Chains A and B, each alone.
Chain A
């Protein structure tokens, strides 16, 4: 399949994942729709094109790894893992319920395909660097992808890890920042002094790129560029929109963590081109 057709197919997978996200959160009566919807193309590109993985062998030692550092966006991750075949799609309706393997935030020991536990913000870069350094010792040359929020990189440990990744020339570490511009308490420009983001990472010695995070072609190209780097870790600042794909959630940060009503759920499905029955 040529790349254009592949991208079209990935875009449809992203649309289906968005349907899964709003459905899971509606059914669970809890969850973070806004930040889940903004990472969908990043997750889709990784799981359905970029990662060297085998759902039949989720712990294969030489697999690529992905850490969803912004663990609260896990409905997107769970939907991708289900659609990839790590577990039945019907499991998605168990999100956040007592006997489901789908925890409120990702758990590497409960959910097949989750490479690392997350949800407490700021840890993905450091853990991912540990995985890259482990690969050097065990002799596996896998890549480690970390998807982090933009507000999340306010955490000090992120910069500790940024220094170390540079020291250890971790060129198999690819960090994607889901730059939707809004954190829990409001716009990141108001809550923190983290912007501008790219000059900071460049100053730490990282190879940095900025892309449209909803453009799967740009995501794939940026990862190709990152892989061609030698001796430098990579950062991809992916400009995204919180709530992308569900018009009434865009621009309304109350959807950071909120459950749609039946009417809103139906409205969301319609916007995503799905029937109400799914």
Chain B
């Protein structure tokens, strides 16, 4: 079992450091002060903490108005209430005018929703944000990466969306690699038989699968694709060209997220088999996070099987 961290806490602590340096920084909540662990922020910066109550559309539009006056508001609440309930406000009044609003979406993925079930499991957020032009989209791996990603997106021109978790978020166990916006991180590198692309805490499973594959003589490389826009086209295509077979693993609906992004790149520039793992276009159930991933095709076994299948397809193609 992985050690457990807290991406929500990591976000707010970093935001407070940013707010101490940058007086433009504002936090806008929609009765999400507890969700985001924002009480210390509200106490230290009472004039830069806005709470509109349970009214996410208003939170986003109000933040847009603030950003138009030179501030950098962070709208932080559950991922689905930003990306779905306030989707139009994000698109038309923040992204279209290119305003400096940052969206922090908690409970990204089915694992983060845990016991509450579908209403609080958000597995469409990255796909929705990825289809709206002009938004930087990041899904950091764990609490340390959230700290670095928060610092990085603060400097972005225009809007940004960052996915965070439940507050009980697995730490991705690997040698440290720094977060660089728009650049993949190689977290395990056993060779170039197959490339496994993943993001978020499920990276632990991708790394575990790569280690098991190595014992079978299959050499995989695992890349963390934490930034979905701007996507690291060169870094991803280099791995795809070298391996010519790929697997994607994401705690997100199989449509619209990381798997789609990798498939889009591959099919245009280097058509190779891409096996996509994620929530199989269905509504998940309540449950314990790791059990949910196992149940919905995101198990270590599933990743291994997908890798072998991708390699087999590649080899079949080569024989033709």
B98 near A129 (CB under 8 angstroms)? no
B52 near A61 (CB under 8 angstroms)? no
Q: Which residues of chain B come closer than 8 Å to A107, judged between CB atoms?
A: 97
A143 to chain B, nearest CB (A): 13
Give 1 or 0 for each of A221-242: 1 = CB within 8 Å of chain B CB: 0000000000000000000000
Q: Which residues of chain B come closer than 8 Å to A108, judged between CB atoms?
A: 68, 97
Give which listed residue, B23, B57, B58, B65, contacts A131 with CB less than 8 A.
Answer: B65
Q: Is the interface of A mostly helix, strand, loop or mixed?
A: helix
A111 to chain B, nearest CB (A): 12
Give 1 or 0 for each of A138-151: 1 = CB within 8 Å of chain B CB: 10100000000000
B45 to chain A, nearest CB (A): 10
Q: Which residues of chain B come closer than 8 Å to A201, judged between CB atoms?
A: none
Q: Which residues of chain B come closer than 8 Å to A129, judged between CB atoms?
A: 62, 65
B159 to chain A, nearest CB (A): 13
Q: Which residues of chain A come closer than 8 Å to B98, judged between CB atoms?
A: 109
Tell me, in angstroms, the Cα distance from A65 to B161 when the chains sit together.
28
B35 at the interface (CB under 8 A from A): no
A134 near B57 (CB under 8 angstroms)? no
Given contacts A130-B63, A157-B57, A161-B58, contact A117 B52 (CB under 8 A): no
B61 near A137 (CB under 8 angstroms)? no
A47 to chain B, nearest CB (A): 19
In this complex, the member of B26, B48, B61 whose beta carbon has the largest number of chain A beta carbons within 10 angstroms is B61
Give 1 or 0 for each of B34-63: 1 = CB within 8 Å of chain A CB: 000000000000011010110101100111
B186 at the interface (CB under 8 A from A): no
Give which listed residue, B23, B57, B61, B96, contacts A130 with CB less than 8 A.
Answer: B61
Q: Which residues of chain A come closer than 8 Å to B62, judged between CB atoms?
A: 126-127, 129-130, 133, 161, 164
A163 at the interface (CB under 8 A from B): yes
Q: Which residues of chain A come closer than 8 Å to B93, judged between CB atoms?
A: 116-117, 120, 123, 127
Q: Which residues of chain B come closer than 8 Å to A115, judged between CB atoms?
A: 68
A55 at the interface (CB under 8 A from B): no
B92 near A135 (CB under 8 angstroms)? no
A156 at the interface (CB under 8 A from B): yes
Closest to A158 in B: B58
Q: How many residues of B contact A (CB 8 A)?
A: 29
Closest to A168 in B: B50
In this complex, the member of A61, A120, A130 whose beta carbon has the largest number of chain B beta carbons within 10 angstroms is A130
A160 at the interface (CB under 8 A from B): yes
A134 near B71 (CB under 8 angstroms)? yes
Tell me, in angstroms, the Cα distance from A123 to B68 when the chains sit together.
14
B97 near A131 (CB under 8 angstroms)? no
Q: Which residues of chain A come closer than 8 Å to B70, judged between CB atoms?
A: 61, 134, 138
A136 at the interface (CB under 8 A from B): yes
Q: Which residues of chain B come closer than 8 Å to A75, judged between CB atoms?
A: none
A135 near B55 (CB under 8 angstroms)? no
B1 at the interface (CB under 8 A from A): no
Compute the total of residue contacts between A and B using a CB distance below 8 Å: 100
Closest to B88 in A: A120
Tell me, in angstroms, the Cα distance from A61 to B71 when the chains sit together.
12
Given contacts A117-B92, A130-B66, contact A157 B71 (CB under 8 A): no
B88 near A127 (CB under 8 angstroms)? no
B89 at the interface (CB under 8 A from A): yes
Q: How many residues of A contact B (CB 8 A)?
A: 31
Tell me, in angstroms, the Cα distance from A134 to B63 when the chains sit together.
9
B68 near A131 (CB under 8 angstroms)? yes
A134 near B58 (CB under 8 angstroms)? no
Tell me, in angstroms, the Cα distance from A89 to B57 when the chains sit together.
36
A128 at the interface (CB under 8 A from B): yes
Give 1 or 0 for each of A64-92: 1 = CB within 8 Å of chain B CB: 00000000000000000000000000000
B69 at the interface (CB under 8 A from A): yes
A164 near B58 (CB under 8 angstroms)? yes
Give which listed residue, B47, B52, B63, B97, contacts A137 with CB less than 8 A.
Answer: B47
Q: Which residues of chain B come closer than 8 Å to A130, judged between CB atoms?
A: 61-69, 73
Residues of B254-271 whose CB lies within 8 A of A:
none
Q: Which residues of chain B come closer than 8 Å to A137, judged between CB atoms?
A: 23, 26, 47-48, 66, 71
A213 to chain B, nearest CB (A): 24
Given contacts A117-B96, A160-B52, A164-B53, contact A126 B58 (CB under 8 A): yes
Given contacts A126-B57, A136-B47, A163-B53, contact A120 B92 (CB under 8 A): yes
Q: Which residues of chain A come closer than 8 Å to B63, judged between CB atoms?
A: 130
Residues of B131-177 whose CB lies within 8 A of A:
none
Closest to A136 in B: B47
B55 near A116 (CB under 8 angstroms)? no
Q: Which residues of chain A come closer than 8 Å to B61, judged between CB atoms?
A: 123, 126-127, 130, 157, 161
| B residues at A contact (CB < 8 Å) | 23, 26, 47-48, 50, 52-53, 55, 57-58, 61-71, 73, 88-89, 92-93, 96-98
18 contacts between A and B (CB under 8 A): A109-B97, A116-B68, A116-B97, A126-B58, A126-B62, A127-B62, A129-B65, A130-B66, A131-B66, A134-B70, A137-B26, A137-B48, A138-B69, A157-B61, A160-B55, A161-B61, A163-B55, A164-B53
Extra pairs beyond A133-B65, A138-B69 (11, CB < 8 Å) = A117-B97, A120-B93, A126-B57, A127-B65, A129-B65, A130-B65, A130-B67, A133-B66, A134-B70, A136-B47, A161-B61
